[in-house]
């Protein structure tokens, strides 16, 4: 495990009294527990444990006046690692973490950005409600809800942002807004996919779903014939009922043989329905181990609150969306394993593709899989060569699994008119580019 608790080289920042009262600066005994993220070490000049939108507005004004780098952080699990910095201000929302069921009959829920998805799941469970939000309870509400949210019930319930009915933000000029389809609808459109470019989100309202127990199958397959396995697994997932969502992790096992672990969730516990639905997935490849059990959904997402210390050594990550795992695509995905420490496929499709592409800034509504491949920094170029060969078989990009933040990534994430609309909105809502630390939108269209 990498240890990053090295002394900070960053000077402590001078701050106005209001911000000083919530700041953790170098030299503070708490500093080492708040400076880093899950993927990246950082040496910020101050981490502000903000308690209100007013604190955030003050932080934005100070960053603007002093020209220091500014970063928003919710759960610190951003794969791109941009929720810390060196020498700047981190607006840490972890204290804004309330989760409230506003109306249990209409399943209306409010979650503050600093809550973790495990806490959301636990808070909704007593009401028989859930939001499909990802596979990890420690991921923060703010980072995921401003980008997408591919969860363990995505084929049945769609993306997390498909359930968003309102968002509260502090904008670049310090104003506090609540946006929904009737209030600042352009902003609401942009927040759902490109939110980090437009402000610091403090809270969201969601329409949750009635969910009780689910069945989980954890299956380890021999995937030595990797491309053939992937093609069969992909076809089985696409043909499965929407109650089935499957996430697959491919690694190179002992003796260089590829091994695939599928975590498949069936939203329900009817044993016959589960067996019928999962049988085609199981037959995708020789089963080495299989364990299936029924569980309340929230128990799949414990929030451990492990301190972040750049604990993920696979800090270089590539992301793409795939319509179908065709044999050629499967060959190229297989080649990634020669250099990636981990290749993951998450099923989207189903209800994700019910939303019209123009509904929000996340516009990818034909794809069936989200693909990510991660490696160590020394193997970055090897991975990129293989990823380039795969690229023609991809259709779009989900920002949350990507560590490059350049033009190509923006164009893949926000195809065509989506990017043009986002660029125009960026000029309106963030004309001075205060929120540019992650996947920054430009001021003008890219030249052709
Ligand atoms: C172990 C692991 C498993 C994952 N599994 C899934 C999965 O199954 N499905 C899925 O969809 N994603 C998954 N992700 C990706 C995850 O959704 C993103 O990395 C997400 O951005 C993390 O949110 P966070 O609040 O923890 O991140 P942070 O590191 O706090 O933030 C990430 C970025 O989002 C922006 N941001 C954060 N908070 C705010 C805010 N309040 N307002 C505006 N911008 C903000 C910042 O620009 C920041 O750089 C996973 C990530 C990890 C590390």
| Tens place of pLDDT per residue across the chain (448 aa) | 333 444 445 677 899 999 999 999 999 999 999 999 999 999 999 999 999 999 999 999 999 999 999 999 999 999 988 999 999 999 999 999 999 999 999 999 999 999 999 999 999 999 999 999 999 999 999 999 999 999 999 999 999 999 999 999 999 999 999 999 999 999 999 999 999 999 999 999 999 999 989 999 999 999 999 999 999 999 999 999 999 999 999 999 888 899 999 999 999 999 999 999 999 999 999 999 999 999 999 999 998 887 788 888 999 999 999 999 999 999 999 999 999 999 999 999 999 999 999 999 999 999 999 999 999 999 999 999 999 999 999 999 999 999 999 999 999 999 999 999 999 999 999 999 999 998 999 988 887 7
3-state secondary structure of 130: strand
The long-range contacts involving 85-88, CB below 8 angstroms and separated by at least 24 positions, are: 85/42, 85/44, 85/437, 86/9, 86/10, 86/42, 86/43, 86/44, 87/10, 87/11, 87/13, 87/43, 87/44, 87/45, 88/44, 88/45, 88/63
Q: How far apart are CA 164 and CA 233, in angstroms?
A: 31
Determine the distance separating the centroid of ligand 1 and the alpha carbon of 36, expressed in angstroms.
14
Q: Whose CA is nearest to atom 48 of ligand 1?
A: 83
Q: Whose CA is nearest to atom 13 of ligand 1?
A: 134
Tell me whether strands 89-92 and 70-73 are parallel, antiparallel or unpaired: parallel
Determine the distance separating the centroid of ligand 1 and the alpha carbon of 296, expressed in angstroms.
24
Q: How far apart are CA 305 and CA 434, in angstroms?
A: 29
Phi and psi at residue 286, to the nearest 5°: -55, 130
Q: How far apart are CA 277 and CA 216, in angstroms?
A: 12
Which atom belonging to ligand 1 lies closest to the Cα atom of 39? Answer: 53
Q: Which residues fall within 8 angstroms of residue 71, CB to CB, at 6 or more apart?
A: 44, 82, 83, 84, 85, 88, 89, 90, 91, 437
| CA distances (Å), origin 167, targets 117, 176, 183, 205 | 16, 11, 10, 6
Determine the distance separating the centroid of ligand 1 and the alpha carbon of 149, expressed in angstroms.
9
Q: Which residues fall within 8 angstroms of residue 437, CB to CB, at 6 or more apart?
A: 69, 70, 71, 72, 82, 85, 196
Q: How far apart are CA 356 and CA 364, in angstroms?
A: 9
Assess whether the C-beta atom of 136 lies below 6 angstroms from ligand 1: yes
The 8-class DSSP code of residue 68 comes to -
Tell me the domains of the chain and their CATH numbers.
Answer: 17-92 (3.30.43.10), 99-210 (3.30.465.10), 213-408 (3.40.462.20)
What are the residues facing 214 on neighbouring strands?
295
Q: What is the DSSP string of 354-374?
A: GS-GGGSS----S--EEEEEE
Determine the distance separating the centroid of ligand 1 and the alpha carbon of 403, expressed in angstroms.
12
Assess whether the C-beta atom of 79 lies below 6 angstroms from ligand 1: yes
Determine the distance separating the centroid of ligand 1 and the alpha carbon of 200, expressed in angstroms.
13
Q: How far apart are CA 34 and CA 28, in angstroms?
A: 10
Q: How far apart are CA 262 and CA 190, in angstroms?
A: 33
CB 39 within 8 A of CB 310: yes
Q: How many Cα atoms occupy the beta-carbon half-sphere of 9 within 13 Å?
A: 5
Please tell me the total number of residues recorded for the chain in this structure. 448
Determine the distance separating the centroid of ligand 1 and the alpha carbon of 139, expressed in angstroms.
6
Which atom belonging to ligand 1 lies closest to the Cα atom of 113? Answer: 41
Q: How far apart are CA 33 and CA 392, in angstroms?
A: 42
Site to probe by mutation for ligand 1, drawn from 47, 77, 88 as the one with most ligand atoms within 8 Å of Cβ, is 77
Exposure string of 67-81, with b = 16+ CB inside 10 Å and e = fewer, is ebbbbbbbbbbbbbb
Which atom belonging to ligand 1 lies closest to the Cα atom of 38? Answer: 53
Assess whether the C-beta atom of 81 lies below 6 angstroms from ligand 1: no
Determine the distance separating the centroid of ligand 1 and the alpha carbon of 402, expressed in angstroms.
11
| CA distances (Å), origin 189, targets 59, 186, 416 | 25, 5, 16
Exposure string of 16-48, with b = 16+ CB inside 10 Å and e = fewer, is eebbeebbbbbeeeebbebbbbbbbbbbbbbbb
């Amino acid at each position: 495990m990498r240890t990053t608790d090295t002394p900070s080289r960053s000077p402590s920042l001078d701050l106005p009294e209001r911000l000083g009262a919530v700041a953790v600066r170098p030299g503070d005994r708490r500093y080492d527990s708040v400076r880093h993220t899950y993927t990246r070490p950082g040496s910020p000049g101050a981490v502000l444990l903000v308690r209100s939108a007013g604190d955030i507005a003050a932080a934005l004004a100070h960053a603007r006046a002093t020209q220091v780098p500014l970063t928003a952080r919710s759960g610190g699990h951003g794969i791109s690692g941009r929720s810390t910095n060196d020498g700047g201000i981190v607006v840490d929302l972890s204290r804004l973490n309330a989760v409230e069921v506003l109306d249990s009959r209409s399943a209306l829920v409010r979650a503050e950005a600093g809550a973790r998805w495990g806490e959301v799941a636990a808070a909704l469970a007593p009401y028989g409600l859930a939001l499909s939000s990802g596979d990890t309870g420690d991921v923060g509400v703010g980072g995921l809800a401003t980008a997408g949210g591919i969860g363990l019930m995505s084929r049945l319930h769609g993306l997390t942002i498909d359930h968003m009915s309102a968002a509260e933000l502090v904008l670049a000029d310090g104003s506090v807004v609540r946006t929904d389809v009737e209030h600042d609808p352009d902003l609401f459109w942009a927040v759902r996919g490109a939110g980090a470019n437009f402000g610091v989100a403090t809270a969201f309202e969601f329409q949750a779903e009635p969910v009780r127990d689910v069945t989980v199958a954890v299956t380890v397959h021999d995937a030595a014939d990797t491309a053939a396995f992937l093609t069969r697994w992909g076809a089985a997932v696409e043909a499965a009922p929407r109650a089935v969502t499957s996430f697959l992790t491919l690694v190179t096992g002992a003796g260089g043989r590829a091994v695939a672990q599928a975590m498949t969730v069936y939203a329900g516990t009817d044993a016959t329905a589960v067996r019928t639905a999962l049988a085609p997935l199981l037959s995708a490849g020789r089963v080495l181990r299989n364990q299936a059990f029924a569980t309340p959904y929230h128990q799949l997402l414990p929030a451990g609150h492990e301190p972040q210390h750049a604990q993920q050594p696979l800090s270089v990550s590539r992301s793409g969306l795939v319509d179908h795992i065709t044999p050629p695509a499967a060959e190229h995905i297989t080649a990634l394993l020669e250099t990636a420490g981990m290749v993951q496929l998450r099923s989207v499709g189903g209800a994700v593709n019910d939303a019209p592409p123009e509904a929000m800034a996340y516009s990818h509504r034909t794809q069936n899989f989200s693909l990510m491949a991660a490696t160590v920094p020394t193997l970055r170029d090897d991975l990129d060569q293989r990823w380039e060969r795969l690229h023609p078989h991809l259709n779009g990009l989900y920002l949350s699994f990507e560590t490059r933040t350049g033009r190509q990534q923006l164009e893949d994430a926000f195809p065509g008119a989506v990017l043009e609309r986002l660029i125009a909105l960026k000029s309106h809502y963030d004309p001075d580019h205060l929120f540019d630390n992650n996947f920054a939108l430009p001021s003008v269209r890219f030249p052709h």
